[in-house]
Structure 1
Amino acid sequence: MDYHSEEYLNGLTDDDGEVRELTAEDFAQFRPIQEFPEMYAFFKSLKRPEKDDPEPVEIAPDVVRAFRSHGDRSVGEQVNSALRDWLREHAA
């Protein structure tokens, strides 16, 4: 069977045009994207969006202990609050 054929690709959808559940036979036909150089080059060329993930920061143990000894909030919340206060006070 030609797994790139229109017949096969159409067979991946049900009567409503929705992608059907994939079978073990479908998965057996999967190939690494590196086997398709043009497609691989295209995806490698895409720019990744900027992440809003937090930046890991190393905090000295004595500072962590000091924050832990104050309040009910987590150390991270307290450090963020302190840094935001500092930024407000030192805004240009």
Structure 2
Amino acid sequence: MKSDATHKPFPNTPEEWEVLIAEAPGEDRPLTPEEEAQWADALVVRAGGYPALKAALAERQRRRGPQKAPTKIPTTIRFDADVLEGLRATGKGWQTRVNAAMREWLRHQH
């Protein structure tokens, strides 16, 4: 949840989190339809306060899914300093472009 999507600023300290946790709807009253929509994706941590919430959030973190293409293999290659500088000067994604250039070169070798 982004802080600008709520009426209160996002908590910055464990103490602020504790207050927010204490104010969260509980089992003592049913949620209104509006609250139901707001809390639909909420992570519920009933006990343990801020440390339990932090641990639950860490477990819930999005993980990278399986790759669509085969996994690339890390390797070491040595370039002359001017070549490497020139490649890096082409900007973000230079390694992907080098990979594509090598694939094209290999295609023409066979």
- For normalisation by structure 2, the TM-score amounts to 0.32
